[in-house]
Structure 1
Amino acid sequence: MKNTQKAWLFYVASAPQFGGGHVMRSLELAKTMQANGKDIDFLLDQHAAHWFPVLSEHGFEYFDDVNSVTGEYEGLWLDHYHPDYMFLNRCSYPVAGLIDTVNKSGFPKHSIAYSAHVGANVSGFEYALLNPEFAKIERSPSPVLSRITLCFGQKDSKGATTKILSILESTEVPLKLNVVCGAQNEAYAAIKEYVDRTRHDAQFYHAPSNLIEIMAQTDLFIGSGGVSVLESCAAGIPYLAIITAENQSAQVEELSALGVIINAGKIEHIIDTEFLNLIDTLTPMALNQLSNCSRKLIDGNGAQRIANEITTWAKNANG
């Protein structure tokens, strides 16, 4: 029988409206802590059954109701914008989480926040949560920009994939497109049809298990400002970010200011000609510079760093 006092509970935003970024980044931390000998349970939102097989595949147990959680855990990892604060205040065990999901006024006494942004207890892009295999990708750039990957997360509620495909259709340069459609994208059929009839050389991917192989064959990644931008940075793949949710703005703006990605702005403000002109400025030299800078910033070991630190921190907090 599991001793929950030696286990961690991961409370993660997992309902369809939250996309997949929260679960995927927390899953990397959970896998790392599991490899370090910790048992991990997940607390999911209601209507998150699509994540059950993913968690089971990695040997994690899960709850989808806060009232089902019993026992005392060594600690709780929080990655949720709208958690049940009554549940959190009942928790007597330490709470760690990401700064963009932390509201200290609703937290128990012991809490610590991590972030890639300034303002957290521990900050820096070296704490980015992602699969360390991304940092092992061997980039093989083309002589000219031609291989472009489009990926706007699990849901793409703003229809960014279709919009950018439409814009790229008007370019005179022949492109090789990798079009990735998330599992919860309701426009799946329309995107597949668009890919089938485009004049470009296009491949369609529906809910791939990961982006590592796809990313390795990419000159430019065009996507939203969530987890994929950090994965791309670790891989040294030049990234053109389009903000599709307000909570992505800070990360995109900071990475852009550091010179490691291109910020194309909000999806609602994208203008066809300006977007194509922006891509035209991305010479091989400019892409190489983005690649070199991004890889220096993120090394892919963030999950191990956080796992080590919160384990020690929780041990001290528990006395």
Structure 2
Amino acid sequence: MKVYFRVDASVHIGSGHVMRCLSLADALQKLGSDVVFVMRVQPGDLCDYTKKRGFKVEQLAQPDELINPESTTDYHAWLQVSETEDAEDFLAVAEDADLVVIDHYGINVHWETLVKSTTLCNLIAIDDLVRAHNSDMIIDQTLARKVSEYHVTSPGSHVLSGTKFALLKEQFSLLHSVALAKEIDKQVHRLLLTMGGVDNPNATLQVLNALSQRETAIKTTVLLSYNAPHFDSVASFCESNSDWLRHIPFCEDMATLMLEHTIAIGAPGSTSWERACLGLPSILIPLAENQLQICQNLVKEDAAMSLSLGEVPAQLNPKLDKLLHNFEAMRHNNLSLCDGKGCSRVVEKMRMLGWF
């Protein structure tokens, strides 16, 4: 089966969409599928990383003038070109597609209709914005998402919703049972700070400044990539506070890294389900409009606490103290939300539909 993923990363989009697509791509490749990623060239695009992960990448041309999003919901700017132009560019390299997987807030039903009218492929839309789709399957891994929330325009379209379909690397499902059995010394916590691969507002440094005010420091690992615009300032802060801080620009094995920690502070993106799978209660700091629903749902399940970025200086440490006090219950709640087997469930559904 020839599978094409249409997904982008950039300094505005971040890396989460590509990372969850790579998890599904790994599962499909293991079953013998020929997998190709189609990605628009732009700053922070992860094309080279995707190649290093063992996948062919068809690179769509970077526009002569890059568009800067006007807000965190300016998804048209994420695509950089019109939907029609992007669909035509995609079809120029993917005419032989048996399956197309889209994970892009800038791609809507118009793009899907153009592609489906030109090829005989099945089409999967990975989404969490509850939009109309002309696709054969929709995957929305948002906690508490209901199938009925989606309006589908394709007869027989299937909606896979909720964290049971969270697209995580296989290592998370393997370590979930380890996390369940893990005994934790509640007097010796280790904190993982991950504000996303880009972190444009430099929330990482704001959190570190607040944590530095604690009477007793918590050993903390900071994950922030070289693509982040504030990489240097964070790296410098970590170097100056190396007695309690460790900075990692990139981690290939996030599951093992998370298992080494007990609590987390981060943005409520796709990595929320990774943290839940391995039982890390979190303080969530939304950095984009599309993260608010995830944040609210996790707080409602008592799996996380939340702060706005503006509340960090005054409220982070009181929230963290409360999280530590409620740690055991919150850890249990996280572990019950996600078992890391989402990719295998998606593949099994595809088998049932006779797609391969």
TM interval, short-chain normalised: 0.7 to 0.9
Aligned in 2, Cα 1:220/1:305: closer, same or farther, shift over 3 Å?
same
Q: Aligned equivalents of 1:238 and 1:85: distance in 2?
A: 36
Q: Aligned equivalents of 2:129 and 2:95: distance in 1?
A: 24
**1:131 matched to which residue of 2?**
169
Choose the corresponding residue for 1:8, options 3, 10, 20. Answer: 3
Choose the corresponding residue for 1:273, options 311, 314, 317. Answer: 314
Task: Report the residue type matching 2:114 in the other structure.
Answer: R
Q: Aligned equivalents of 1:257 and 1:195: distance in 2?
A: 33
Task: Report the residue type matching 1:22 in the other structure.
Answer: H
Report if aligned partners of 2:211, 2:217 keep a CA contact under 8 Å in 1: no
Choose the corresponding residue for 1:31, options 26, 31, 35. Answer: 26
What is the CA-CA distance between 1:55 and the residue it aligns to? 2.1
Task: Report the residue type matching 1:23 in the other structure.
Answer: V
Choose the corresponding residue for 2:184, options 137, 141, 150. Answer: 141
**2:293 matched to which residue of 1?**
250
**How many residues get paired?**
305
What is the CA-CA distance between 1:145 and the residue it aligns to? 5.5
Q: TM-score, normalised by structure 2?
A: 0.79
Deviations 1:283-316 (A, max 9, x none): 35x2121111211220000011112223544739
Q: Aligned equivalents of 1:246 and 1:222: distance in 2?
A: 18
What is the root-mean-square deviation of aligned Cα atoms in Å? 2.3
Q: Aligned equivalents of 1:84 and 1:41: distance in 2?
A: 21
| Higher RCO structure, 1 or 2 (CA under 8 Å, sep 6+) | 1
Q: Segments of 4+ in structure 1 off by > 4 A?
A: 84-87
Task: Give matches, 1:193-272, under 5 Å.
Answer: 193-198=236-241, 200-262=243-305, 264-267=306-309, 269-272=310-313
Report if aligned partners of 2:283, 2:307 keep a CA contact under 8 Å in 1: no
Q: Give unpaired runs (5+ residues) of structure 1.
A: 1-5
**1:94 matched to which residue of 2?**
122
**2:349 matched to which residue of 1?**
309
Task: Report the residue type matching 1:303 in the other structure.
Answer: C
Deviations 1:112-158 (A, max 9, x none): 21212222422121011112322415445233264211111110112
**1:72 matched to which residue of 2?**
96
Q: Give unpaired runs (5+ residues) of structure 2.
A: 61-85, 151-158
Q: Aligned equivalents of 2:40 and 2:130: distance in 1?
A: 17
Report if aligned partners of 1:130, 1:231 keep a CA contact under 8 Å in 2: yes
What is the CA-CA distance between 1:174 and the residue it aligns to? 2.3
What is the CA-CA distance between 1:209 and the residue it aligns to? 1.9
Report if aligned partners of 1:29, 1:303 keep a CA contact under 8 Å in 2: yes
Q: Percent identity?
A: 20
Choose the corresponding residue for 1:115, options 140, 160, 165. Answer: 140
What is the CA-CA distance between 1:228 and the residue it aligns to? 1.6
Aligned in 2, Cα 1:145/1:37: closer, same or farther, shift over 3 Å?
same
What is the CA-CA distance between 1:58 and the residue it aligns to? 3.1
Q: Aligned equivalents of 2:59 and 2:50: distance in 1?
A: 12
Q: Which SS does the other structure have where 2:247 is aligned?
A: strand
Task: Give matches, 1:120-199, under 5 Å.
Answer: 120=150, 121-135=159-173, 136=175, 137-138=178-179, 139-144=182-187, 146-198=189-241
Q: Aligned equivalents of 2:245 and 2:93: distance in 1?
A: 46
